[in-house]
């Protein structure tokens, strides 16, 4: 799997992904353009999970026998690899089920701090404000709606422009002295837009607000350094970055995690338990109750190794090339509207589009018959679609194993769908 600056050996990479060799509907080779929903998994990740179950299976942080020690080493070794991957300290990485749970962890910790009169940094009172954006995935919208309902706080949001970028003309007035938290995506899962998170975080911190970034679409695809980004919390999922389902990550600044009350409680996260009450371990264990997902952690560590071996700058450059190609060929098809920015500047590898006269589900079905797997619907970002004047769209998302020939296959499939439904002659 040799790599060069700005270059990926895609043929060698594809050989690591068994699913990509499949022949699917109507004898067509699989063209997988849905990595924004979930990525395919290389054999290195599958082998790491299988190896754990075959040789080291035990409950981490429990038994003192050899297998228990090995399981603990695997689990904590994975934490160290993930921390290094995003430029964090080991104690700042909390394992969760996925990015959605990571975001909910922060939201419920804020609720708990409010109920128990915890740290002032996390208490949310009537009149306080949570600021989000109109381009958020539901996972970074609904938890904050619910937090506001529980506490009487006010939810506010930054709108989007016609080209799918954030409307930041009034950012200074949007963040006020009552803003307790700003939660925003690091990359839109619909338009690929990459907002100026560092700039927004700086403005939020000047007003005393905390900042959480949903990085589910960015950590797998570009170099991310949490210190340079300037956020207080950052969430992402393993299954979108070549890793297994069932494991995600919450990065939190050490001082903030230390001040946060737990979200879920039970075994593994306790310090002392008496019938009259309990005390809790320091972070990150405070936020990881129950038996740890060690096999999933082993798979995630293998995914981190795989991406690190490729080089995240190379990954980003490859996806930018594919995205530029897709924007060019889709722009040439009459009746196709690309959602979001029309260049790759501050834009990731998600290309959503609307085909005039053909419902997105019909576009997706025709593409599927041709072997091209894309996503259709509102992509868990209904408010963004409404802001762009649509109920749904078709979305192609690219990753390390995609080729320029697959971009052409997408364009050919769209033209075929137009002819099939009589939208174009």
Cα radius of gyration (the chain): 22
Q: For residue 384, how many other CB atoms are within 10 A of its CB?
A: 29
Two structure tokens written together for 130: 């949570």
Determine whether 413 is exposed, middle or buried from the number of CB atoms within 10 Å of its CB (0-12, 13-18, 19+). Answer: buried
Q: Are 350 and 374 in contact (CB under 8 A)?
A: no
Half-sphere exposure of 397 (CA within 13 A, CB side): 27
Using DSSP, state whether 374 is helix, strand or coil: coil
Q: For residue 421, how many other CB atoms are within 10 A of its CB?
A: 15
Two structure tokens written together for 16: 């690591």
- 372-373 and 31-32 as β-strands: parallel, antiparallel, unpaired? parallel
Q: Where would I find the beta strands (DSSP E) of 294-380?
A: 336-338, 350-355, 372-373, 375-377
> Catalytic: which of 99, 113, 295, 380?
380
Which residues are CB-neighbours of 151 under 8 A, at least 6 positions away? 110, 111, 114, 124, 125, 126, 128
Q: Are 200 and 172 in contact (CB under 8 A)?
A: no
Q: What are phi and psi of 327, to 5 degrees?
A: -60, -40
- Is 380 tagged catalytic? yes
Q: Are 341 and 191 in contact (CB under 8 A)?
A: yes
Mind giving me the DSSP string for 165-223?
A: -B--TTHHHHS-TTEEEEEEESS-TTT-B---HHHHHHHHHHTT-EEEEE-TTTTTTS-
Q: Where would I find the beta strands (DSSP E) of 311-384?
A: 336-338, 350-355, 372-373, 375-377
- 179-185 and 336-338 as β-strands: parallel, antiparallel, unpaired? unpaired
Report, as residue numbers or ranges, the catalytic residues: 380
């Amino acid at each position: 799997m040799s790599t060069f600056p700005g270059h990926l050996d895609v043929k060698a990479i594809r050989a690591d992904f068994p699913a990509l060799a499949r022949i699917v509907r109507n004898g067509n080779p699989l063209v997988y353009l849905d990595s924004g929903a979930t990525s395919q998994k290389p054999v290195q990740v599958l082998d790491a999970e299988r190896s754990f179950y075959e040789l080291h299976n035990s409950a981490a942080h429990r038994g003192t026998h050899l297998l228990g020690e090995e399981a603990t080493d695997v689990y904590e070794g994975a934490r160290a690899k993930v921390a290094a991957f995003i430029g964090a300290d080991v104690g700042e990485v909390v394992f969760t089920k996925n990015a959605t749970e990571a975001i909910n962890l922060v939201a419920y910790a804020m609720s708990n701090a409010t109920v128990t009169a915890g740290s002032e940094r996390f208490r949310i009172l009537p009149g306080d404000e949570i600021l989000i954006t109109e381009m958020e995935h539901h996972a970074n919208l609904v938890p904050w709606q619910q937090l506001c309902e529980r506490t009487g706080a006010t939810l506010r949001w930054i709108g989007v422009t016609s080209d799918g970028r954030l409307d930041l003309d009034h950012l200074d007035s949007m963040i006020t002295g009552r803003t307790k938290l700003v939660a925003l995506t690091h990359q839109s899962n619909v338009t690929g837009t990459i907002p100026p998170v560092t700039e927004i975080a700086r403005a939020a911190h000047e007003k005393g607000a905390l900042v959480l970034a949903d990085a589910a679409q960015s950590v797998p695809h570009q170099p991310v350094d949490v210190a340079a980004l300037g956020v207080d919390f950052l969430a992402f999922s393993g299954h979108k970055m070549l890793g297994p389902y069932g494991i995600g990550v919450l990065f939190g600044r050490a001082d903030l995690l230390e001040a946060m009350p737990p979200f879920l409680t039970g075994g593994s996260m306790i310090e002392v338990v008496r019938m009259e009450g309990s005390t809790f371990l320091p972070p990150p264990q405070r936020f990881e109750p129950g038996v740890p997902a060690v096999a999933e952690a082993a798979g995630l560590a293998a995914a981190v190794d795989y991406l690190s071996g490729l080089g995240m700058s190379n990954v980003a450059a490859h996806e930018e090339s594919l995205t530029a190609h897709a924007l060019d060929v889709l722009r040439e098809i009459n009746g196709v509207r690309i959602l979001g920015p029309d260049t790759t500047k501050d834009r990731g590898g998600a290309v959503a589009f609307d085909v005039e006269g053909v419902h997105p589900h019909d576009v997706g079905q025709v593409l599927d018959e041709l072997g091209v797997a894309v996503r259709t619907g509102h992509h868990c970002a209904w408010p963004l679609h409404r802001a762009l004047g649509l109920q749904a769209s078709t979305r192609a998302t690219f990753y390390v194993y995609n080729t320029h020939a697959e971009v052409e296959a997408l364009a050919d499939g769209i033209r075929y769908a137009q002819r099939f439904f009589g939208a174009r002659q």
